[in-house]
Structures are given as structure tokens and as C-alpha cells.
């Protein structure tokens, strides 16, 4: 049975935060600076990758990445040689360093040249069994099919070992979800919004537990499945619109 009072509360909060003003303080502002699909995809993926810590720092460092790529991320990924990747020497965001960045460029190049691009990889994974978990597992497999440093693997979540994959789920929300407010891009058409999973982090996890829609204590994939199942009862077509409500309550209202 749906808790109508709670649903109405979360609908109200989603409407409050799912507004263009949200972009001003969110890493999604990075891909919003581009028009070309591939630039949006690649800049968005890099922004989501380093989206942990203080949001102003995330935005500052992702803008720095775009600057190093000449504000043409897709062309940079395809055209730059390994020698050209030296532009990232000295770059660091928390534990994500220049060597990680160089690997990411090479892996993205492999994805676009040999796998049809980011959308195709995620979509192919999704079509294996119609779940986001399958999409994320397949993406992880493809992303690390080229040789790299073991340490870099910690920067891409692996749902096979139970990760909540907050940043990847956020990235999929950006790419797949679409509504009138226009914050999320809705670029990818073959993964339904109804299948998206909540980007579960400290804020959304804590608020979900306070509201009684999440009982699991760990922020892992099982918790993502539990809370998203409840949100799907509130809105089967667009369950992750409630990410705005849960994040806003935690980050802005200290609910």
C-alpha cells in the first residue's frame, strides 16, 4: 500500500528542487556547457566520476579538466596521443590523480572507437536482462578491458561486488531522465526512465531511513534496490525524480 502522505511530501520536495536553479550548485552544470551529444556524454561522465567531496571543489576541478581538454572533450579523447595526455600531469581531485585521468581518456577512446560509444555500452549491458545492474556491470567490464593500473579500478563502481554505484546511477539519471524542467538531458532513449535506480549516497540514504523507506543500514546495492522499489510505488514511470527530494532534504534542509 502506498503511503499517500509521504508520497505527496516527496512530490512537493521533488518539485521544489527539480528546478533550473539546481544546476547552479550541481556538477551537472559541466555538461550543460556543451551542445554536442558526445561532448555532453564525456564531460558528464568525467564530472560524475569525481563527484564526491565539496560541490564547489568538484565543479572547479571538472572545469579544470575541461580546460585541459581545450573545451572539446570528445575530440580530445579521440585525437590526443599518449604523449598529449601529459597535460594532466599535476591534476588531482582527492584520490583521483593524473594517472587515473590518463587511463580514463584511453578507456573512453577505446569505448568510442571499438564499442560504439558510452550510450551503446550502457544500453547493451541493460539489454542483457533489462536491469540497470546489468548495464553497470557490463560497463565496468568494458571500461577495464584495456590494461591499466589496479588503483584506477576504485574510481568506477563495481555492482558485482555490491557497490551502490552512486555516481554512475547519477550519470544515468542525467543521460536518461527527461522532464519539463530540463535539468536532466534525456539523451539516451533505449533505457527507460522507469528502470533507473536511485543514486544512493550519505544524504539520500540518511533521509530515506528517517522517512522509513529504507531499512538496510549499509549504503550498498541491496539498499539501492530496496529504496528504489519503494520509490517505484510512488511513481512507476519516473522513480528517480525523488532523488531531488531526498538529496535536497539532506543537503539543503538538514532534515
Q: Could you read off the pLDDT tens digit of each residue along the chain, which spans 255 residues?
A: 779 999 999 999 999 999 999 999 999 999 999 999 999 999 999 999 999 889 999 999 999 999 999 999 999 999 999 899 999 999 999 999 999 999 999 999 999 999 999 999 999 999 999 999 999 999 999 999 999 888 899 999 999 999 999 999 999 999 999 999 999 999 999 999 999 999 999 999 999 999 999 999 999 999 999 999 999 999 999 999 999 999 999 988 877
Report whether 94 contacts 155 (CB < 8 A).
no
DSSP-assigned letter for residue 36: S
The helix/strand/coil state of 39 is helix
Question: Which residue spans within 107-196 are E strands per DSSP?
Answer: none
196: β partners: none
Could you tell me which of 198, 184, 204 has the C-alpha nearest to residue 251? 204
pTM: 0.97
The helix/strand/coil state of 97 is strand
Report whether 61 contacts 47 (CB < 8 A).
no
93: β partners: 96
Q: Both ends of the chain: CA-CA distance in Å?
A: 25
Amino acid at each position: 500500500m502506498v503511503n499517500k502522505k509521504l508520497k505527496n511530501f516527496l512530490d512537493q520536495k521533488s518539485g521544489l528542487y527539480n528546478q533550473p536553479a539546481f544546476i547552479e550548485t550541481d556538477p551537472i552544470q559541466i555538461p550543460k556547457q556543451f551542445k554536442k551529444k558526445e561532448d555532453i556524454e564525456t564531460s558528464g561522465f568525467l564530472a560524475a566520476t569525481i563527484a564526491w567531496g565539496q560541490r564547489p571543489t568538484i565543479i572547479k576541478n571538472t572545469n579544470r579538466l575541461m580546460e585541459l581538454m581545450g573545451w572539446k572533450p570528445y575530440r580530445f579523447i579521440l585525437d590526443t596521443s599518449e604523449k598529449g595526455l601529459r597535460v594532466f600531469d599535476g591534476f588531482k581531485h582527492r584520490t583521483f590523480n593524473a594517472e587515473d585521468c590518463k587511463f580514463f581518456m584511453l578507456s573512453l577512446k577505446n569505448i568510442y572507437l571499438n564499442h560504439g560509444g558510452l550510450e551503446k555500452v550502457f544500453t547493451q549491458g541493460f539489454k542483457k536482462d533489462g536491469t540497470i545492474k546489468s548495464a553497470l556491470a557490463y560497463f565496468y567490464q568494458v571500461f577495464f578491458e584495456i590494461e591499466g593500473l589496479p588503483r584506477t579500478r576504485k574510481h568506477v563502481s563495481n555492482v558485482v561486488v555490491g557497490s551502490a554505484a552512486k555516481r554512475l546511477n547519477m550519470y544515468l539519471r542525467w543521460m536518461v531522465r527527461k522532464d519539463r524542467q530540463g535539468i536532466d538531458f534525456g539523451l539516451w532513449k533505449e533505457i527507460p526512465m522507469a528502470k533507473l535506480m536511485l543514486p544512493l549516497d550519505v544524504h539520500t540514504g540518511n533521509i530515506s531511513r528517517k522517512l522509513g523507506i529504507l531499512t538496510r543500514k549499509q549504503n550498498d546495492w541491496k539498499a539501492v534496490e530496496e529504496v528504489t522499489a519503494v520509490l517505484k510505488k510512488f511513481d512507476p514511470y519516473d522513480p528517480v525524480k525523488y532523488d531531488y527530494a531526498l538529496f535536497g532534504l539532506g543537503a539543503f534542509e538538514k532534515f
